[in-house]
A and B are shown apart, each in its own frame.
Chain A
């Protein structure tokens, strides 16, 4: 049994958990910054920018997220290749879209056709990260947009009375104060992000789902030393338990963090805490 669990392919399976974790580690700050940008754009006084920000928030929420994942991966890939094509081969004679094909010159291929396998995989992974960041950025933008508006009016009026400009008010008053209001929403988003990670599989990354399908499938004695029947059910049970444990731990940590942050705040939760202690 221990031999079975330490085959090379199983090692790939264990590494893929790390893929999931690193996706989370990169995507979370990236989508937070996307969200910040989106929220700032939506608040902008320049109309087209505000429309862009609001449209970004609204569209991603109105359409199934999976559709976005599937869309952005191809769209980003083609966009990058198109730009490289324009720069690298300006005098390419043929059209890029020919019927059902998307053809760029070989130098513009991304990654290059002769690149090693790991480069392809890394590129695919970063496309996936970027896609996740775009989609979750919209959700984060919505949370932050609400949080910015939740900062008490009196604070802003005071800032104005002190002669602060709009920009100064934003950076010195709104941004430091909005996090308390944003935290419940962002915490919820984090849970959602954890639960979205198996969708990496749809983006062509060799993640936990890929390996669970691969390893669980029926093995015949001809190809492997460890023949077994269809074990995919058990592999997915393992994944199910992994995710349950992960969300549970996050829930506990977020709960602690929230309790910590509300301590001494003039909100209902803070008040309840004070009463409980007294």
Chain B
């Protein structure tokens, strides 16, 4: 027990460079595996949360762009969505990494873009924006006609019409699908350190450490279940949080009517 607390103090924040530099060499204990893989989760949560929050804004813009009447804006949004939804995230990471690498050789400004914390985040951000944009667009198309007509009847127009009627309704309709998107975004953050992006000083994410232990011990039956445990936990937290927000979005509706609950499937892998 004492020893394990020691390990947690040593390696708990290893993935962000705080604590012991050297990874354990041999005689890997269960506690070490739990601590280091958990420490790697910091990266997964960081990538997922930041990309999700930033992506939310861009996704709204993309959805509106796809529904816009102006053909230039519409085509641009459609191509953006097609580009990121039609190709594997894995290839996007590779391409972006080498793209930033070649930019870096010309302009020093792009130096941070080749490290995971920024470069991979940008890819994830654009990727989730495209997927979420498509979800929001679908929701935008299925806003009940009565709602917009009522808004018109109240004399709402422009920004206030969007802000008070269209946007909340769109979110409400999109929420179950958006919850899925959030879950799978967190899952896809595990790809980052398996593409070009280097794990500097062996500071990687949860899967990076799980893979490290599996390689070293040649026993996949311990680290991967630990990883699975952490991810199931994360998934439950995401479902809980999104469910709360979803409840608030639906608060004005009659509560005894059965509404479709969040279903899990749509987009499994990017």
Seen from chain A, the residues whose Cβ lies within 8 Å of a Cβ on chain B are 59, 61-67, 70-71, 74-75, 78, 97, 99-102, 139, 142-143, 185, 188-189, 192, 194-199, 201-202, 209, 212-213, 216, 230, 232-233, 236-237, 239-240, 243-244, 247-248
Contacts and interface: CB of A to CB of B under 8 A. Distances in A.
A192 B88 CA distance: 9
A233 B190 contact: no
A206 to B, nearest CB: 16
Contact of B88 (A61, A189, A233, A243): A243
Contacts of B210: 67, 70
B81 to A, nearest CB: 12
B234 to A, nearest CB: 10
B214 A74 contact: yes
Nearest to A73: B220
- Report, nearest first, the 4 A-B pairs whose CB atoms are least far apart: A233-B98, A64-B187, A236-B95, A71-B224
- Scoring B92, B191, B265 by chain A CB atoms within 10 A of each residue's CB, the highest score goes to B265
Contacts of B216: 100
B235 interface: yes
B23 interface: no
29 contacts: A63-B227, A64-B207, A64-B227, A65-B268, A67-B227, A70-B207, A71-B220, A71-B224, A74-B214, A78-B220, A97-B219, A100-B26, A100-B28, A100-B217, A102-B219, A139-B265, A142-B265, A194-B88, A195-B88, A198-B90, A199-B90, A202-B194, A209-B91, A213-B94, A230-B101, A233-B102, A236-B98, A240-B91, A240-B95
A228 to B, nearest CB: 13
B86 interface: yes
A75 B221 contact: yes
Contacts of B83: 244
Chain B residues touching A, majority SS:
helix
Contacts of A233: 95, 98-99, 101-102
B86 A243 contact: yes
B28 to A, nearest CB: 8
A143 B90 contact: no
B95 A70 contact: no
Nearest to A233: B98
A232 B98 contact: yes
- Scoring A71, A101, A196, A213 by chain B CB atoms within 10 A of each residue's CB, the highest score goes to A71
Contacts of A212: 94
B270 A195 contact: yes
Contacts of A71: 214, 220, 224
B88 A62 contact: no
Given A101-B218, A198-B88, A209-B91, A62 B268 contact: no
Contacts of A67: 190, 207, 210, 224, 227-228, 231
Nearest to A251: B86
Given A63-B227, A196-B269, A70 B101 contact: no
Contact of B218 (A102, A236, A240): A102
Contacts of A189: 268
Nearest to B100: A233
B140 to A, nearest CB: 19
Contacts of B200: none
B265 A209 contact: no
Nearest to B210: A67
B115 interface: no
A66 B194 contact: yes
Contacts of A62: 228, 231-232, 235
Contacts of A199: 90
Interface string B258-270: 0000001111111
B6 interface: no
Contact of A70 (B82, B214, B217): B214
